[in-house]
Structure 1
Amino acid sequence: MTPPRRKRRQPQPPPLPEQPKPSPPGAADGQAEPKNPERLYAFAESQDGARAELDLVTLIVARSAPKPDGSPEQAAVLRLCAAPLSVAELSAYLSLPFSAMTVLITDMITAGLVQARSPIVRQALPDRSLLEAVMHGLQRL
């Protein structure tokens, strides 16, 4: 039986330094570009900065069709709101933060494009007649 032959390691050449990539025009020197840039949302149409009293469960209903001169976000809201949708659902479908949705929807309410409906609030206490009917039904059992 012969012993296995050992191979000598050859020295590896040092790795070549990476070439710097050319920066796009308008980019500041020394700043790295983010790999997945986030979109900035700026809605500056309201003059006084006031917002509608919107809650996560406020229902939004479209009152008109999307207009060609509107923003893409407005067109998407109008298409989605053919049937009532909550602000939370709209925010999730459009991947917009809730604060940006409230500004967008406030502008759309002011323009008359959508209507906001408050959710149906349940009464704090059930109706007395309903409780009596349940009680009588249980007694019959």
Structure 2
Amino acid sequence: MTPPRRTRRRPQPLVPEPAPRPPQPAQPTAADGRRPRPNPERLYSVAGSDGARAELDLVTLIVARTAPPVSATPEQSAVLRLCRAPLSVAELSAYLGLPFSTMTVLLTELITDELVHARAPIVRQAVPDRSLLEAVMHGLQRL
């Protein structure tokens, strides 16, 4: 005959546990799991009816020249706040959730008003430094 196992009594907490939170509503997504596209009306109001666009690439860097003026739209203000440090057009498009085509129209307006400056990305040298190659070669020869 085995003796019965004793169980320890745990003290009851003085403060009752908080009730579980209700589940948060899920973010609406498209059938393939991506975020839904913005309304076409909103894109038209951001881009306007003018079709003029500057020659911008996905990797073109945008830098703000000034703080957002009072007359700026919310999207323009957001771009000017984000571009205190150089950001590419692709990054801006992702941060604001706007398609590239709408972003180019918005940036064209800012470039025309001289509120931002667009510049080509900094490209590293295609050929490495000769002294670095010689150091690697000498290191390999010593092995």
**SS, match of residue 124 in structure 2:** coil
Measured against aligned partners, the alpha-carbon deviations of 1:79-117 in whole angstroms (never above 9, x if no partner) come to 111122111111011110001111111111111101112
- Residue in 2 that maps onto 1:130: 132
Deviation at 1:127, TM superposition (A): 3.1
Pairing of 1:61-140 with structure 2 (within 5 A): 61-140=63-142
Larger helix percent: 2
Q: Which runs of 5+ in 1 are unaligned?
A: 1-35
The 1:127–1:68 alpha-carbon spacing in structure 2 relative to 1, beyond 3 Å, is: same
- Residue in 1 that maps onto 2:9: none
Deviation at 1:77, TM superposition (A): 0.3
TM-score by length of 2: 0.63
The 1:90–1:129 alpha-carbon spacing in structure 2 relative to 1, beyond 3 Å, is: same
**SS, match of residue 57 in structure 1:** coil
Q: Which of 36, 44, 57 is equivalent to 1:41?
A: 44
**SS, match of residue 41 in structure 1:** helix
- Residue in 2 that maps onto 1:5: none
Q: Which runs of 5+ in 2 are unaligned?
A: 1-36
**SS, match of residue 112 in structure 1:** coil
TM-score by length of 1: 0.63
Deviation at 1:139, TM superposition (A): 1.8
The 1:123–1:45 alpha-carbon spacing in structure 2 relative to 1, beyond 3 Å, is: farther
The count of residues paired between Structure 1 and Structure 2 equals: 104
Q: Name whichever of 96-105 and 52-61 sits farther off.
A: 52-61
The 1:73–1:137 alpha-carbon spacing in structure 2 relative to 1, beyond 3 Å, is: same
Bigger CA radius of gyration: 1
Pairwise CA RMSD: 2.3
| CA distance in 1: counterparts of 2:132 and 2:109, whole angstroms | 43
- Flag as ranges the 4+ runs of structure 1 deviating above 2 A: 39-46, 49-53, 122-130
Deviation at 1:41, TM superposition (A): 2.4
Identity %: 76
